[in-house]
Amino acid sequence: MPSDATPNPLDHPLDHPLVFGQRMQVLRTRRGMSRTVLAGLLDKSPSWVKQVENGALHTPGLPMILRIAEALRVRNLAELTGDQTMPIDLFVGPGHAKLPAVRAAIDAYPVADDREAPSAAHLSARLERAWSARHSARNHRDVIGGLLPNLIRDAQLAVRQADRAPERRAAQAVLSEVYSLSQFFIAYQPDSALLWRVAERGMVAAQESEDPHAIGMAAWLTAQAHRDSGPTHFDAADAVTLETLRYLKPLLPDASDDVRAIAGALQFEAGYTAARRGNTGTAWSYWDTASKVAKRLPADYYHPMTSFSRPIMGAHAVTVAVELHAGPESVRQAAKADAEAIPSRPRLARHRIEEARGYQLDGQPETALATLDKAYEAAPETIRYNGYARRIVLEETEAKSPERRCRAAALAVKIGVLAT
């Protein structure tokens, strides 16, 4: 039966399967990445990449395969290796048990409801408690996954029942924030289409609200979604970030701390994307601008959604250095950062993972594993869903040192990438 579907270049007849190098070339091309760029990310030469792709060199060992998978943002390792017995999702964590209930609430299309909608103030109070619970819980997805379905339904109802324009704008601002919280839950789970639906709905609700903070928050998350989609989406990430900064700039002199914080968070996002591009000067320039914003906020201020604050700038510096593949600088920034000042468990765990990436880049695998153990203690669900952490752990299960192999294997079991 004829089909109009576009064939997947990775699907080949069983008698002529694609070899590793061919798969690597297909995935690199699909990402819009040149051999020179990929070589730089792997600390190899463009000729080495070419020789692997054309089969002149043998398939590299597992540590390099994992580095290639990270650089190409390969979600399932089998896509790169062709070995269907290795269905390891690197950049997609396991589907959370509460994901179906959250998905059902998002996908529902209620047109009538006899209940009286909660007020925007009531919903805002519930949201404040939900954000607080997320920051304090080791298993934060479990907590917010239980709260989200009712929050989504109630916030949608509040928008539908709002009669006056001011009430409707207030309800839209709350609904946008509910969608923002939803993105934190859905991120890195196996449903990218759901993530984009929520991101788009959050942007629409924020614009309808005319609330600068809601607009900034929705833009911050949308830029991250674009960036995580790969290099071909970096321009889209920058467009969202910079356009929102232009919108916020004239409002900042009289803005609240939350609005100024979201502007600072967006400045850093621009730097983060620049670091992903390998633009060192631009990345650090945006980091410096964001740091100046943070210093003008109260010393004890901590943005409840983005974590933007004075302490987080140290963590952001580690991330910039890591994304620029500067191992020694990553370690130097990690030594300067005040991790204990980060009050959020999941954000602390994310920082520990970035530190571990830095130690790995600097040739300190033992310290990297020890730091990932700290990440697990802070928030197991953060490391369980983080592709960079999973890559380091899997790579170290092949280490020459028996002690490192043992430690990595134990952590791999805990985070679910190896069976017991």
Q: Structural domain boundaries of the chain?
A: 20-81, 94-210
pLDDT class of 238 with cuts at 50, 70, 90: very high
Distance in angstroms (rounded) separating the CA atoms of residues 368 and 84 = 29
Please tell me which residue, 419 or 290, carries the higher pLDDT value: 290
196 pLDDT band, cuts 50/70/90, is very high
> Predicted confidence band at 330 (pLDDT cuts at 50, 70, 90)?
very high
Q: Residue 328: which H helix or E strand, with range?
A: helix 327-336
List the beta strands (DSSP E) in 231-356: none
Tokens 């959050």 identify what position? 202
Element (H, E) at 256: none
Nearest to 339 by CA among 328, 357, 354: 354
Which of the four pLDDT bands, split at 50, 70 and 90, describes residue 93? Answer: low
Task: Flag whether pLDDT at 211 surpasses 60.
Answer: yes
Give the Cα separation of 60 and 49 in Å (integer): 11
As a whole number of angstroms, the distance between CA 225 and CA 333 comes to 26
Q: For residue 167, with 0-12 CB atoms within 10 Å meaning exposed, 13-18 middle and 19 or more buried, which class applies?
A: middle
Residue 203 reports pLDDT greater than 70: yes
Taking 50 as the threshold, does the pLDDT of residue 311 lie above it?
yes
Residue 137's pLDDT is what? 93
Domain 20-81 has CATH 1.10.260.40: yes
Residue 243 has pLDDT above 90, yes or no: yes
pLDDT tens, 372-409? 999 999 999 999 988 889 888 888 888 889 999 999 99
Percent of the chain with pLDDT over 70: 93
> Mean pLDDT of all residues in the chain?
89
**Contact 394/412 with Cβ under 8 angstroms?**
yes
**What distance in Å separates the CA atoms of residue 21 and residue 54, rounded to the nearest whole number?**
6
